[in-house]
Amino acid sequence: MTQKDYKPVHTNKVGGSPFSGVLGWLDDRLPIFRMFKYEYLDFQVPRSLNYFWSFGGILMFCLLGLIITGLTLGMHYKPSAEDAFVSVEHIMRDVNSGWLLRYMHMNLASFFFIAVYLHIFRAMYFGSYKDPRQVMWLIGIIIFFLMVATAFLGYTLPWGQMSLWGATVITNLVSAIPVVGESIVHWLWGGYSVDDPTINRFYVLHWLLAFVILGIVILHVIALHIVGSNNPSGIEPKDTRDTVSFHPYTTMKDMFAMVVFFTIFAAFVFFMPNILGHPDNYIPANPMVTPAHIVPEWYFLPFYAILRAIPDKLGGVLAMVSAIGILALLPWLDRSKVRSLIFRPIQRQWFIIFVLNFMMLTWVGAMPAEGLYVLLGRIGTAYWFLYFLVIVPLNSTFEKPKPMPNSIHEYLEWKEQGKIKSVFKWMK
């Protein structure tokens, strides 16, 4: 066989960058700028998106802010039962702008959960968990579980009274697990009580889980860009009339939403930084003195109320975990072909009650476990599970939806004509 019988092999894939100059040269060899342009600037999104879809970007900024402020605080924090509380006071009083960093970190955690709850409720209302977005929804539930764990670990680190006793009560719940429960608790504690080894382990796990969350959030975003965004109509885009480029239309809307969100956040940081915390956490941890009323952070309160609603320890733990885990089953519990509750008036009413029930459980969780509060907690818990296991499946089977438009642009026309009625019609 002669040389001419062989075909040349072309291995050079350099080229095709939309940029020129140094940027184009680099992008040809490492196409990150091209990817950013195609996936975030030119990416087509439904033109009917409202401000509820801005919470995804808000959550990403919250997460990055928590990691950056946490990194700085961690440089001055001492993870030991003897020094933890003192090191936090040192940060507040002696470190340059330490008070600001700590208040930002504390309140960012609360605002992170506010944004997450709004993000979840939006997804439930507009059916963003339905086919083909089941995997994206499941990844989101995993993120929420990790958020809860990370926030709990972080809450113990200041080592105030509520940190110590909150950690003692919550970790003790694990002992309800048959056979292995006690061993897991002793491993978490690093001994036979919440003490120095505990805080060391919680500090490391708090840091580790923060970056695990960041990695899974990236997977969440990738899944979003594979299947595309849902929209208030619940109708998939059919042609170019239904979509707009992500930039500048959605970016400008997201930037405005972020300005409003973080302005409110700044008001909390500078004018009422401790309003979402508990005053007992400014008292050094003392294992010999039990607080009159042990409560977790406000964002745990609904699930804490569910925990207390069950008189059995193991049953309470299972109910609390299941209250979050049942969200993962929602794509299969809701069998309706219609995504958005705008066109499902009966289910919409049940959903509004569900949100009000969530608020009631939050309030009940902050109250003592006695009298009327126990009864309200049990009613709220019953409705929580009835909503997912009974109401959603039945309504998805028997409810007759309202007439729907054929496309997103027709949906927008109906909306302008006043044919669309929604509890979120003010959310442009």
Same domain, yes or no: 353 and 226: no
* Residue 7 confidence class, pLDDT cut points 50, 70, 90: low
Same domain, yes or no: 48 and 160: yes
* Residue 418 confidence class, pLDDT cut points 50, 70, 90: confident
CB–CB of 27/19 below 8 Å? yes
pLDDT at 114 over 90: yes
Range of the domain at 72: 18-294
Specify the DSSP element, H or E, that contains 245. strand 243-245
pLDDT of residue 30: 87
pLDDT of residue 112: 97
pLDDT at 425 over 60: no
CA separation for the pair 43, 323 (Å, rounded): 35
Could you read off the pLDDT of 58-67 as tens digits, one per residue? 999 999 999 9
In a domain, 423, yes or no: no
In a domain, 220, yes or no: yes
Supply angle C-alpha 163, 164, 168, rounded to 5: 115
Same domain, yes or no: 268 and 309: no
Same domain, yes or no: 341 and 259: no
pLDDT of residue 272: 96
Q: Which of 260, 294, 328 is the last residue of a domain?
A: 294
Q: What is the mean predicted confidence (pLDDT) over 284-313?
A: 91
* Residue 35 confidence class, pLDDT cut points 50, 70, 90: confident
Same domain, yes or no: 360 and 237: no
pLDDT of residue 176: 87
More confident residue, 12 or 67: 67
Same domain, yes or no: 33 and 56: yes
CA separation for the pair 197, 16 (Å, rounded): 55
- 370 CB contacts (<8 Å, ≥6 apart)? none
In a domain, 181, yes or no: yes
pLDDT of residue 1: 53
CB–CB of 147/112 below 8 Å? yes
Same domain, yes or no: 275 and 353: no
pLDDT at 68 over 80: yes
Share above pLDDT 90 across residues of the chain, in percent, rounded to a whole number:
73
In a domain, 310, yes or no: yes
Same domain, yes or no: 165 and 312: no
pLDDT of residue 382: 97
Catalytic residue among 225, 238, 421, 425: 225
pLDDT of residue 294: 84
Please name which of 47, 226, 53, 59 lies closest in space to residue 123, comparing C-alpha atoms.
Answer: 53
Could you read off the pLDDT of 246-285 as tens digits, one per residue? 989 899 999 999 999 999 999 999 999 999 988 888 999 9
* Residue 8 confidence class, pLDDT cut points 50, 70, 90: low
Q: Is 102 helix (H, G, I), strand (E, B) or coil?
A: helix
Same domain, yes or no: 199 and 308: no
Same domain, yes or no: 119 and 215: yes
Catalytic residue among 27, 242, 254, 334: 254
Catalytic residue among 253, 322, 396, 410: 253
Same domain, yes or no: 285 and 336: no
pLDDT at 200 over 60: yes
Known catalytic residue at 83: no
Q: What is the mean predicted confidence (pLDDT) over 66-74?
A: 96
* Residue 100 confidence class, pLDDT cut points 50, 70, 90: very high
Known catalytic residue at 10: no
Catalytic residue among 27, 280, 297, 334: 297
In a domain, 7, yes or no: no
In a domain, 2, yes or no: no
Could you read off the pLDDT of 126-158 as tens digits, one per residue? 999 999 999 999 999 999 999 999 999 999 999
In a domain, 414, yes or no: no
* Residue 5 confidence class, pLDDT cut points 50, 70, 90: low
CA separation for the pair 74, 141 (Å, rounded): 28
Specify the DSSP element, H or E, that contains 45. strand 44-46
Catalytic residue among 163, 229, 233, 336: 229
- 69 CB contacts (<8 Å, ≥6 apart)? 101, 102, 104, 105, 108
Candidate from 127-141, 167-181, 388-402, 404-418 with smallest mean pLDDT: 167-181
Mean pLDDT of the chain: 91
Amino acid at 428: K
pLDDT at 426 over 60: no
CA separation for the pair 406, 416 (Å, rounded): 16
CA separation for the pair 349, 378 (Å, rounded): 21
* Residue 237 confidence class, pLDDT cut points 50, 70, 90: very high
- Hey, which residues does 44 pair with through a beta bridge? 245
Q: What is the mean predicted confidence (pLDDT) over 306-333?
A: 95
* Residue 89 confidence class, pLDDT cut points 50, 70, 90: very high
pLDDT of residue 33: 86
In a domain, 188, yes or no: yes
Farthest CA pair distance, the chain: 95
Same domain, yes or no: 105 and 67: yes
Known catalytic residue at 253: yes
Q: Which of 294, 328, 355 is the last residue of a domain?
A: 294
CATH code for position 261: 1.20.810.10
Please name which of 88, 105, 92, 114 lies closest in space to residue 298, comparing C-alpha atoms.
Answer: 114
Token pair in block for residue 72? 């700085």
The tally of domains found in the chain comes to 2
